Amino acid sequence: MLKVLLVSGSLFMVLMMFATSMTVTMDAQAQGPPLMMSPGTQTIDTSGTGRRTEVVQWALKMAAHLHCTPARLVTDCQGSGADHYYDAGFPPEIIQWANTRCPGCAAWQADTFQCVVFVIAAYAYVQPLPVQGQNANQYWEHFVSQPGWQRLPVHGNVPQPGDIMAWNGGAYGHVSIVLGVDPRHTAITFAQANGEFPVQTLPLNHDGSINTQNGYWNAFEVVGYLHPLILS
């Protein structure tokens, strides 16, 4: 969940840093009782050979170095906050990309890494996204007019690995990267920043919608998937 402006200038930097601090606080407040039902079988699909799989691989490389606490505690991401810290093993290519295009931007920093920049970074070396400062809750409407992209409502649609999950909720919404759907279509696994876990699995309802009532995501809803027709 985030507020991010991919622009330079001191005024915008101040605004963005303020917004980032707000979203981090909001994430912590989203915490609740642990999930009582099974979230389902974790499914990460890296079997493909096309550029879609490259998006998944970049998401996994970043997720492996995201944490919910700066101290990287043993109980990291166990109700301690949102995963917006990254460690020294974070992909240097992503840091270099960010420093070139948004130097000093708070949303890309090691202690305030946001969900929108996670998604942007997953696509950065594959197919740069057609976004310029949109918040997560603006992605669904923004992509309606973007050539090469298809919007898939959650009801009745099964996403593919690499698709972007568009969430509503909170002040700025949320976005994440689909990693896979279990073969029985009962659970979805995704990667994210500034969420509950870097890699997370949630149950799928019979109509294809995602059951977000796990305590942390209660106030959020996945609206649909942004499917890149431009990727093989």
Q: Domain residue spans in the chain? A: 10-32+42-228
Give the length of the chain: 232
Nearest Cα to 23, choosing from 113, 95, 97, 99? 113
CATH class of the structural domain 10-32+42-228: alpha beta
Tell me the per-residue pLDDT of 85-128, one tens digit each, with 9 for 90 and over.
Answer: 999 999 999 999 999 999 999 999 999 999 999 999 999 999 99
pTM of the model as a whole: 0.85
Encoding tokens for residue 55? Answer: 């998006």
- What values do phi and psi take at 210, rounded to 5? -100, 130
pLDDT score of 1? 52
What secondary structure, in 3-state letters, does 116-143 show? HHHHHHHHHCCCCCCCCCCCHHHHHHHH
Task: Assess whether pLDDT exceeds 70 at residue 34.
Answer: no
